[in-house]
Amino acid sequence: MEELTSKEELLEKDRKYVWHHMSPHQDNPMIFVSGEGSWITDADGNRYLDGMSGLWCVNVGHGREEIAQKAYEQMKTLAYSPMSQSHEPAIQLAEKISGWLDGEYRIFFSNSGSDANEVAFKIVRQYFHQKGESTRYKFISRYRAYHGNSMGALGATGQSSRKIKYEPLGTGFVHVPPPYCYRCPFGQTHDSCAMQCAKAYEDTIIAEGPETIAAVILEPVITGGGVIVPQDEYLSMVKAICDKYGVLMIVDEVICGVGRSGKRFGHQNYGVKPDIVTMAKGLTSAYAPLSATAVRADLYESFKEPGATSHLRHVNTFGGNPVSCVVGLENMNILEREGLVEQAAALGEGLRERLARLSDHPNIGEIRYFGLMCGIEMVEDRVTKTPASPDKVLKILQSCKQQGLIIGKNGDTVPGYANILTIAPPFVTTEEELDLIADVLEKAFAQL
């Protein structure tokens, strides 16, 4: 393969051969060439603070040589073995994940968050079939939530913009309103709130028929849909409703998990115990593709029944790859050794303190926080709460980039509501870098 040296050569090849994710035809993409800590560098030598950890995933920061070394050593020893059998890295990582979940779980490895959720759906449906409750096949999700881009996971997703021109999708998914206090779907305020967003699950279960509902799937906090943070009692109320009707709870920890929330997993902030937990992204800090579906041990036991179709007939060629498992294990070891989960919690508080000075800006309706992430909801004015125009949002994004900071937004979610800026830097971000994030955002908003 020829080595491309100039940026123009790279761009020419990019335009000719590359189809970019989640964007219109891109003639001049940023081309990144290296990363270190919380920083990434492009082909022109410009350095940017990675305020989104890539896509919510590079939790331990860029350029970790110890992870690269572990991957190199594993590649030399055993680069591949399918998970129809086993290997030591998968065993060690599964034990580590189960321990972090503070319970006894069985771990099924895949490649991505979408994969992990698809596995969860299949496990749940088969579980109820083998219990003699084959009418239980429906899943309750939430509007604004994202659970993946495959046909089943996209069916669970509650973001209409992502579904246009791809439907019909996987069937059996129903949706309830999100716990979106700033724009309460039930017209309530904090003073009058009766937690109807949680009670909506029971209403939906009754309306659909309890005998048809298999599981609820939800993130602890809706992340890509706008960093929508529920009230403290919300998750425990939903879990109680699930238990009342024999419905399983799947918690999607693809973004919230592996330290991002300031605890090992996001649901641990709310004191609930899920039946199934899915994870990806921060599991390897994106140094290798890997995801996991963690299943309560007693659910797993039901798949040991005799019969030709009683076992889970799902295979993933690269899921649980030895190299990826070694990367995941070293990533989690780094998080433990360096106290980065606790550091994420402290950094999140530091970010909250620094951004407080923006809270009265006329184009900011609300700033929401969960661990080391935040969502800044932009509005045209604070009285009507009209979502900020795409031009205003783009102006902030461009100003940040010009000042050396990359942040995100909730693109392709709900038409007319792509108005939320997202920030989720690596756990190795320094106090000085937090200052930079706040200063850049303040300057950007001052230009509106």
* Total structural domains within the chain: 2
Question: Which of 322, 337, 352 is the endpoint of a domain?
Answer: 337
56 and 88 fall within a common domain: no
- Is the pLDDT assigned to residue 292 strictly greater than 70? yes
**pLDDT band at residue 1, thresholds of 50, 70 and 90?**
very low
Same domain, 311 and 347: no
CATH number of the domain enclosing 272? 3.40.640.10
pLDDT confidence of 4, banded at 50, 70, 90?
low
Question: What band does 28 get if pLDDT is binned at 50, 70 and 90?
Answer: confident
Q: Among the three residues 282, 308, 337, which one is the final residue of a domain in this structure?
A: 337
pLDDT in tens, 192-249: 899 999 999 999 999 999 999 999 999 999 999 999 999 999 999 999 999 999 999 9
Q: Are residues 312 and 204 in the same domain?
A: yes
Report the distance separating Cα 419 and Cα 388, nearest Å. Answer: 6
Domain identity same for 205 and 280: yes
55/195 same-domain check: no
Q: Are residues 280 and 386 in the same domain?
A: no
Is residue 133 situated within a structural domain?
Answer: yes
**Cα–Cα distance measured from residue 166 to residue 169, given in angstroms and rounded to the nearest whole number:** 7
pLDDT digits (tens, 9 = 90+) for 243-291: 999 999 999 999 999 999 999 999 999 999 999 999 999 999 999 999 9
Range of the domain at 365: 7-60+339-446
1 domain-assigned:
no
Answer yes or no: is 14 within a domain. yes
Give me the mean pLDDT over the 80-96 stretch: 98
Specify whether 54 is located in the same domain as 73: no
Residue 322: closest CA among 294, 360, 356, 284: 284
Q: Are residues 41 and 167 in the same domain?
A: no
Same domain, 321 and 357: no
Q: Are residues 183 and 163 in the same domain?
A: yes
End-to-end CA distance of the chain: 47
User: Looking at the domain assignment, is residue 2 inside a domain?
Assistant: no
Choosing from 305, 337, 369, the residue where a domain stops is 337
Looking at the structure, tell me whether residues 134 and 34 fall in a common domain. Answer: no
Chain centre distance of CA 200: 24
Q: Write out the H or E segment, with its range, that includes residue 345.
A: helix 340-355
Claim to verify: residue 286 and residue 247 sit in the same structural domain: yes
